[in-house]
Structure 1
Amino acid sequence: MKISIVLATALFYASVAEAFKTKTPPLSTKWTKEAAEADVPWPSYPRPQLQRQDWVNLNGVWEFQNSTKGALTDMPFGKTLSDEIKVPYCMESGLSGVMKHYDYSVYKKSFTVPSDWKDQSVLVNFQAVDNEATVFVNGKKVGYNKGGYNRFQVDITDALKNGKNELMVHVFDPTDSNGNNPPLGKQRSQPSHIFYTPCSGIWQSVFLEPVPKQYISRLDVLTDMHGNMNVTAISNKATAAQVVMVEVLDKHNKTLISKAGHANKSFMIKVPGVKTWSPDQPNLYNYKVTMGKDVVNSYTGFRTISRGVVDGVERPLLNGEFIFQFGTLDQGFWPDGIHSPPTEEAMIYDIQFLKKLGFNMLRKHIKVEPDLFYAAADRLGIMLWQDMPAMVEYKAPTDDQQAEFERELATMIDNHKSFTSIVTWIIYNEGWGQLPSGPETYLTPRVKSQDPSRLVNSVTGWNDHGAGDFHDNHHYSIPQCGSPFYSIASTPYDKKRIGVQGEFGGIGQNTSAAHLWPVAEAVNSINQTYEITENNDAYNYRTLQVLEQLREQVERYSCSGAVYTQTTDVEGEVNGLLTYDRKVIRTDVPKWQKMIKDIYKAAKSRA
């Protein structure tokens, strides 16, 4: 029997298309189906503050298999791997198609370099791989990275060949098992209640791009409300004499000002007549940077973050004005993608929901998001408190583990300090991984030196040694914010610093099983929630009571900001404003909107 070439080709591609299937996660969102059906998930350019015109997205189905430590010296080059995985979803997620954890694993992707990239260098960019990644191209080791939350790039030019190339990544991620203690946030190998399913392997976008021999690897841009723009174009390939030209554009893409500097040296640009950035008016400006043959596009906003005494009270200031910073504890976990949001739209939905309620801030809780999250916060206008992902809470880190924490802290700040919306860095959460000696006392000035444009919350909750710009209390359910009363787990309000409530609320509602994470360990720990309400009416009655107490403390005492727990449910936690699947809104939206306005009004009366 003969089959036509067209039919044979169609049958071949049909079989390939059917070879990979995502798995059904324990709980789905309204974006799960779209993500599962996408051939190339997360299609947007992944690095919004350093964009090049030419690039190839490597997201999609990769070959994959379980591995061992010894595989590093015996990689399966040129062989077909036993399984498949969809990038950029971590292996434990349903969307990945694996839904298992492996301490060691191997990823493989074939690619062809576009012919018009000839005579240029080629970079492969990984936005995040948890936790250690060793990168090979055509059997040659080309790079290594440690740290599950930081982006990195590898120059693969010398390993390339004509035609098809083989990219292979060996991953090691033990989470917290066998004495390992990396910065890992809420991930645990044995999830329960406030600790969740781990996220291992490639969990953010991977892409290729061509660059000239001398290229810009990072842009550091710090701004203020007066139009000052401090620019550093970082390049490990450029000479000290290499000229860098920056051109700032208006909303019509016309040049406002241009100025030349040199690579790896900061220089100042004074942009005339700027409109400042704030949550109410998130004004942003595009700019273009040229270094030799390398041209990149970026954006920034102009604002000043500082602190000062207002009516006898230490306050955080945005553009010289005290604005009460009110937001939610934002975990950034998803039932279908775990660390990886199913789609960019889904990720943005959470921010839009918080803005709709009236929040002007969120605390990104011991997790680092894709760069597109921070770009959305810049664009939509919401201030961010950015946590450093914590080490395990009950283990004192070894000297090597502490050194790695400090290295990754510095890397996180370098990778994110150009995002306008970030107003505060948080070093430690509730003493997790914090040595009794108080390392924040030397880490705080180090962070301030690395980024003098922001405030530092050295310790949010517990183990406060007086460092940083904030005195930050945690208390459930009711707040104790800049007040003359406090719990024995905290310390008396320090009037020399800004008084904030880093966590409060946490009131839960046990919804129907259709919206719960149906895993026994999670369901069995629901009763550990601070307070459970039986129905939606009771939930809104209790939460609005708690918010009213916050309003009173803002009006009476020295409360300058607060973080309500939390944006969404996560696995065994049912105290979200939204359920984990984002399908049920617990809050009575009009009543919450009015209460949040009243809190801002109380703060304004003190300003």
Structure 2
Amino acid sequence: MQDNMNYPRPQLRREQYTTLNGYWDYAFSINKEIDDYDGKILVPFPPESQKSGVERILLPGNYLHYRCTFHLTKHSHQRLLLHFEAVDEYCEVFINDHLVGSHHGGYLPFSFDITNDIAEGENEIKVVVEDDTDYGNHARGKQRLHHEGMYYTPVSGIWQTVWYEWVDEQYIKDVVFRPDLQKQGIHIEVSTIGELEDVEVIIHQPDSKDSTTYHIPVCQQAFITLEDIQLWAPDHPVLYDVELIYGHDHVESYFGMRTFSQVEIKGHHYMALNGKPIFHFGLLDQGYYHETLMTPPNDEAIIKDLKFVKSLGFNTIRKHVKIENSRYYYYCDQLGILVMQDMVNGGERYDDHFVTLEPNLFPSLQSKRDDHNYALMKRPDSNNRTEYYREVKETIAHLKHIVSIDTWVAFNEGWGQFDSKEVTNYIKKLDPERFVDSASGWFDRGAGDFLSIHNYFRPLHLKSSQRIIMLSEFGGMNYQINNHFYGKKNYGYKRLSSRKDFMIAYRKLMIRDIMKNIPHGLAGCIYTQLSDIEDEANGLITYDRQVVKCDEEIMRGIAQRIYGLFEREVEHE
């Protein structure tokens, strides 16, 4: 049992839960059935990682087997829910040798009600996993079997927390909050399993012992007016704690009062938070760690990264082609960091000349690519395109409650891009209250809220646009620290040999591409990147998080200068 402050699902916390993280039996095989297990693996770290104790890649067509036992005392009139936060890529789950379900997709959580399959006392879980990585066409992010450069060691199997909880037969399944600043209140919809018709809602006033109790109907949207509203923003990340009571089920949740909108000032278009233009000054965050790959070592590692981002003066993270565990986003909400969330890319193996070299050498060709040409864009499989839509829907449903996410990024640099106008419209229908970056980097079809630019090799010159102009990737300057480099071959752009040289180059880049373009409508920028990763030595901190490669005080000063220039530019005449 653990304290619910570390509950894997912060938006819906109960008093008790049990994690199954720890040592499981594991085996690799070429057949679905095995005679015995190979050894022990430390869950939830993927077998490819050092921390797992295995350090072996699951090959396409092969199988990865897990087994663990746990002891239960049955609870009458309660259900037992088994949760997997993420398993890459396809898995089947067995309880006491009975198949309870399967799941396809390596980045999203899923659950099974296993009440009818458990026994009093000793119980056994088996999980059988398959993963094609980049030899299939499913969502895979930056994983590649033969990894180098900007692609990384693949991750397979269980790579996020496994846990279970007892719930009453009538219980709360989900809650969605939608702030409404115009009406000065919050829309709440509570989904339940059961026959009770209403739920008790207790909203706690931030930084106060005061609370107010309401009763609202279940499974339909209700509106609650709030007094003395405190707004959420990066410099004031206020969250409201909430209790929800449905029969005997008691859960805790939270929300933030904020709204996102687009404003036009002096002919330029900007993102606005709570009605005020805000410059998105951020870092690209891939979410990889030296010993644990895509799995954060612990909560402290997440918090350390995010506090580092804030300490340098940044207010935004672009979460790059990866979905983190729920606690990561909870800390973004708590610390006040805006998140631009990428959808995870898939499709067949990409032609790097087509999606990387040609767009950089011949930028005028970018908008001329037709993303309805499915073969050219590496999405020829109609079932795979349908799968992408499903995963978009599930991603938004999973993360819609996150206060800090203000942008969905549909496609990155043409990686499996298709029908971007149609996809953008689909996302907008699912979530009309956030921004959509339709095509980050290139192959822009004129859809979405952004003219989204990637620029690493030449001075930035902006053209006028009726959309928000976002420099969604730039920088990537390479500064390798000896004894803290863990790649095979140093990969990156402009190479620098000292912190002093790095800071001089960084300042010049910020003046040339950011400060000089703010008067021309630049609304935000995302520097590449937070940390080094394997071959990439272009982070502001090393892959092992041991060495900060920049001068933090100078970084903060540059950030404040950028915010000041932007604020003066967007002042109303």
2:444 paired residue number? 464
Name the amino acid aligned to 2:484: H
2:560 paired residue among 577, 581, 597: 597
Q: Which amino acid aligns with 1:195?
A: Y
Determine helix, strand or coil for the equivalent of 2:242: strand
Q: Map 1:118-157; keep pairs closer than 5 Å.
A: 118-157=76-115
Q: Secondary structure of 1:541's match?
A: helix
Per-residue CA deviations over 1:94-122 (Å, capped at 9, x if unaligned) read 1111111124111111112245x333100
Match of 2:194, SS state, is coil
Structure 2: give runs of 5+ residues left out of the alignment: 352-376
Match of 1:396 in 2: 378
Within 5 Å, give how 1:80-99 maps onto structure 2: 81-99=37-55
- Per-residue deviation at 1:252? 6.0
State the 1:551 CA deviation: 3.6
What residue is the counterpart of 2:484 in the other structure?
A: 515
Please tell me whether residue 67 in structure 1 is matched to residue 36 in structure 2: no
Question: For residue 230 of structure 1, what is the aligned residue in structure 2?
Answer: 187
Change beyond 3 A, Cα 1:98–1:602: same
Q: What's the offset of the Cα at 1:188?
A: 0.6
Q: 1:260 aligns with which of 215, 223, 239?
A: 215
Q: For 1:199-210, what aligned pairs fall within 5 Å after superposition? A: 199-210=155-166
Does residue 54 of the first structure (1) align with residue 49 of the second (2)? no
| Aligned residue type for 1:93 | S
Higher strand share: 2
User: Is the counterpart of residue 446 in structure 1 residue 446 in structure 2?
Assistant: no
- Provide TM-score, normalisation by structure 2: 0.90
8 Å contact from structure 2 (residues 89, 106) kept in 1: yes
1:112 maps to a residue whose letter is: H
Provide the residue aligned with 1:407 in structure 2. Answer: 390
| Residue of structure 2 in register with 1:544 after alignment | 507
CA distance in 1, matches of 2:561, 2:43: 44
Partner of 1:187: 143
Matches within 5 A, 1:11-410: 44-68=6-30, 70-71=32-33, 81-102=37-58, 103-114=62-73, 117-177=75-135, 180-225=136-181, 227-235=184-192, 237-239=193-195, 242-251=197-206, 254=209, 256-391=211-346, 392-394=349-351, 396-397=378-379, 398-410=381-393
Report the residue type matching 2:500 in the other structure: D
Partner of 1:124: helix, strand, or coil? strand
How far apart are residue 389 of structure 1 and its match? Answer: 1.0
> How far, CA to CA, are the matches of 1:477 and 1:537 in structure 2?
21
Kept in 2, the 8 Å contact 1:242–1:291? The answer is no
Q: How far apart are residue 144 of structure 1 and its match?
A: 1.2
Distance 1:541 1:477, change over 3 A: farther
CA shift digits 1:333-390 (9 cap, x unpaired): 0110000011110111111001001000010011111111000000011100000111
- Check conservation: 2:32, 2:63, Cα contact below 8 A: no
Kindly report the root-mean-square deviation, in angstroms, between the aligned alpha carbons of the 2 structures. 2.1
Is the CA contact (8 Å cut-off) linking 2:12 and 2:251 kept in structure 1? yes
Distance 2:544 2:5 in 1: 23
Which of 397, 400, 403 is the aligned partner of 1:417?
400
Distance in structure 2 (CA, Å) of the matches to 1:342 and 1:205:
12
Other structure's SS at 1:296 match: strand
Percent identity between matched residues is 34
Could you list the runs of 5+ residues in structure 1 that have no partner in the other structure?
Answer: 1-38, 485-492
Partner amino acid for 1:238? G
User: 1:255 Cα shift?
Assistant: 5.4
Letter in 2 for 1:472: S
Instruction: Please state whether the residue corresponding to 2:139 is helix, strand or coil.
Output: coil
Shift, 1:43, TM fit: 9.5
Separation (CA, whole Å) in 1 of partners of 2:40 and 2:5:
20
**Which is worse superposed, 164-173 or 247-256?**
247-256
1:219 Cα offset (Å): 1.9
